[in-house]
């Protein structure tokens, strides 16, 4: 039986009397966002007893009413504000979990080609056909993916879902970790997984140091009906005023992410002026634009953790790393963590301790290269294209043109992108 030292973080609150109750489990996943939910599902067929603690009560009902969903306009234009570009590797992970099959195929759009434009006439073009893959990625609504994951979670035998659950304190000792919830319940687990996003309670309580660097930009997101068909082509412009991405949605619609320092001024524009500004920034490639969701902005930061494991703790998803959205890879990297950790735990010997240092180190090592490569690439591109230094413009545009002329390098980039996050 583990011995828990008394700690200054333990508080006796009125709620404590309500539930002097300890839930015992092998593995506790804290955070039921896209990454935490996928991990809890992936651990479903292991011999471990799993619990999932999620703070938001509305996850259990219909995530369509959640903050990520903001319907705007007519009912056939009732689209989520937030969209994700899901890589082929993430898609097959979600297929193996039986989640991808739950999505409405009519609301998922493939990306068959991608055009990247530099800020001095350079260009880089990728195509799924040239690279021998079915699609470079698929655009999926955030709320639809979340609902599909939670519908599968609710059907998972043996999974204990604690929702809403608000962690107050975490004590870690040699044999187990104990999480105290605001309602007075304790959850004792041999492994606690922090899947609780960029402001991770688990990461902070475990004393894992993370550095956060703001980019001085926000990601302005909005969805549009377009005057011209996109032909399943995604476009990205590296501009003086940030990185603009247009991602194809089903029908003649597209989803925009504009990472820019001028988010406030953009959002202050009346709808018509906003649409005209976005259309002009994208060289009117899709004709006239009409908003179908209310635009919103998300401040962009880079977050790097010194470790993604510590005693009885593992981190996944944004709790472990936050990258710039210019490559649309944040959640893909998180799904890669979830898949890798589930594989390490599934492959553990019978009778193994899921929080054993050796297993956690194996997980950390398996993720080190992908995480570093993604941080390096997204950070490097964001800074190179954000630089006003003399000569920077020439170098970055020369780099884009050079890669475009080297089919082998291009194919290698695509294979890495479609295979990531494995």
Ligand X SMILES: Cc1cc2nc3c(=O)[nH]c(=O)nc-3n(C[C@H](O)[C@H](O)[C@H](O)COP(=O)(O)OP(=O)(O)OC[C@H]3O[C@@H](n4cnc5c(N)ncnc54)[C@H](O)[C@@H]3O)c2cc1C
Nearer to ligand X, 259 or 310 (CB): 259
At 390, phi and psi to the nearest 5?
-60, 135
**What minimum distance in Å lies between the beta carbon of 301 and ligand X?**
9
CB of 193 to ligand X, least distance (A): 11
- Residue 69 contacts ligand X per CB under 6 A: no
**Does position 325 bind ligand X by CB under 6 A?**
yes
Q: How far is the CB of 362 from ligand X (least distance, A)?
A: 21
Cβ-contact 220, 56 below 8 angstroms? no
56 binds ligand X (CB under 6 A): yes
| 365-404: contacts with ligand X (CB under 6 A) | none
**Residue selected from 23, 28, 29, 35 as contacting ligand X according to rule CB under 6 A:** 35
Query: Does residue number 298 form part of the binding site for ligand X (CB under 6 A)?
Result: yes
Q: What is the DSSP string of 88-121?
A: HHHHHHHHHTT-GGGS-GGG-EEE-EEEEE-TTS
CB of 84 to ligand X, least distance (A): 4
Binding window for ligand X (CB under 6 A); candidates: 121-129, 323-331, 362-370, 375-383: 323-331
| Residue listed under structure tokens 């082509």 | 233
313 in contact with ligand X (CB under 6 A): no
- The residue among 310 and 332 lying less far from ligand X, judged by its C-beta, is 332
Question: Of the listed pieces 33-41, 103-111, 265-273, 344-352, which binds ligand X according to CB under 6 A?
Answer: 33-41
Intra-chain end-to-end CA distance of the chain, in Å = 37
Nearest alpha carbon to residue 198 among 371, 330, 60? 330
Contact 112, 95 (CB under 8 A): no
Contact track, ligand X, 148-167, x by CB under 6 A:
-----------------x-x
Query: Is there binding between residue 266 and ligand X (CB under 6 A)?
Result: no
User: Of the candidates 33, 44, 336, 421, which one interacts with ligand X according to CB under 6 A?
Assistant: 33
337 in the Ramachandran plot: left (φ > 0), alpha (ψ -120 to 50) or beta? Answer: alpha
| Count of CB atoms situated within 10 Å of the CB of 14 | 7
DSSP element (H, E) containing 339: helix 330-346
Our CB check for ligand X shows the closer of 48 and 215 to be 215
Q: Return the number of the residue (118 or 317) whose C-beta is nearest ligand X.
A: 317
Residue 122 or 329: which CB sits closer to ligand X? 329
Q: Least CB distance from residue 148 to ligand X, whole Å?
A: 14
Q: Quote the crossing angle between the two packed helices 357-386 and 330-346, to the nearest 10°.
A: 170
The single residue listed with the structure tokens 């698929």 is 138
* Footprint of ligand X on 174-233 (CB under 6 A): 195-197, 201, 219, 221
CA distances from 107 to 140, 251, 328, 407 (A): 7, 9, 19, 32
Distance of CA 302 to the CA centre of its chain: 13
Quick check: 44 binds ligand X (CB under 6 A)? no
Indicate which single residue of 25, 29, 36, 205 sits in contact with ligand X (rule: CB under 6 A).
36
How many residues make contact with ligand X (CB under 6 A)? 32
Is 330 a binding residue for ligand X by CB under 6 A? The answer is yes
Residue showing tokens 């956060």 = 212
When binding is defined by CB under 6 A, the residue of 32, 88, 143, 354 that contacts ligand X is 32
Q: Which residues, other chains included, contact 172 with Cβ-Cβ below 8 Å and sequence gap of 6+?
A: 178, 192, 206, 311, 312, 313
Residue 161 or residue 360: which is nearer to ligand X going by CB? 161
Distance between CA 184 and CA 16 in Å, rounded?
Answer: 4
34 binds ligand X (CB under 6 A): yes
* CB of 37 or CB of 348, closer to ligand X: 37
Please report, for residues 98, 147, 189, 243, 283, the alpha-carbon distance to residue 153 in angstroms, rounded to integers and kept in the order given: 11, 10, 19, 36, 44
Alpha-carbon gap, residue 106 to 250, rounded angstroms: 7
Interface ranges with ligand X (CB under 6 A): 30-36, 53-56, 84-85, 165, 167, 195-197, 201, 219, 221, 257, 298, 317-318, 325, 328-332, 334
């Amino acid at each position: 039986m583990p011995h828990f030292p008394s700690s200054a973080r333990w508080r006796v609150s009125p709620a404590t009397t309500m539930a002097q109750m300890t839930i015992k489990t092998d593995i506790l996943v804290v955070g039921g966002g896209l990454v935490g939910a996928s991990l809890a599902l992936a651990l479903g067929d292991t011999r471990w007893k799993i619990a999932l603690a999620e703070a938001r009560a509305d996850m259990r009902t219909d995530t369509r009413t959640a903050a990520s969903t903001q319907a705007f306009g007519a009912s056939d234009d009732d689209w989520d504000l937030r969209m994700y570009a899901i890589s082929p590797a993430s898609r097959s992970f979600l297929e193996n979990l039986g989640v991808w099959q739950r999505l409405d195929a009519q609301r998922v759009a493939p990306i068959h080609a991608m055009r990247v434009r530099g800020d001095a006439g350079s260009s880089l073009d990728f195509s799924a056909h040239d690279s021998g893959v079915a699609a470079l990625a698929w655009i999926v609504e955030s709320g639809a993916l979340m609902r599909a994951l939670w519908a599968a979670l609710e059907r998972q035998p043996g999974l204990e879902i604690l929702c809403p659950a608000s962690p107050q304190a975490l004590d870690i000792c040699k044999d187990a970790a104990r999480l105290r919830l605001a309602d007075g319940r304790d959850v004792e687990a041999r492994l606690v997984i922090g899947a609780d996003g960029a402001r991770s309670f688990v990461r902070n309580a475990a004393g894992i140091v993370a550095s956060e660097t703001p980019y001085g930009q926000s990601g302005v997101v909005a969805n549009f009906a377009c005057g011209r068909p996109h032909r399943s082509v995604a476009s990205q412009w590296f501009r003086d005023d940030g990185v603009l991405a247009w991602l194809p949605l089903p029908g003649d619609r597209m989803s925009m992410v504009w990472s820019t320092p001028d988010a406030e001024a953009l959002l202050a524009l009346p709808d018509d002026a906003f649409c005209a500004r976005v259309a002009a920034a994208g060289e009117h490639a899709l004709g006239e634009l009409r908003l179908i969701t209310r635009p919103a902005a998300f401040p962009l930061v880079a977050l790097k953790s010194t470790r993604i494991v510590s005693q009885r703790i593992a981190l996944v998803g944004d709790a472990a790393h936050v990258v710039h959205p210019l490559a649309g890879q944040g959640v893909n990297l998180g799904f890669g963590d979830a898949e890798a950790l589930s594989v390490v735990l599934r492959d553990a010997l019978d009778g193994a301790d899921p929080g054993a240092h050796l297993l956690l180190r194996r997980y950390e090592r398996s993720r080190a290269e992908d995480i570093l490569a993604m941080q390096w690439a997204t950070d490097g591109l964001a800074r190179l294209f954000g630089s006003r230094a003399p000569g920077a413009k020439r170098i970055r545009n020369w780099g884009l043109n050079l890669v475009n002329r080297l089919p082998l390098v291009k194919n290698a980039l695509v294979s890495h992108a479609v295979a990531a996050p494995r």
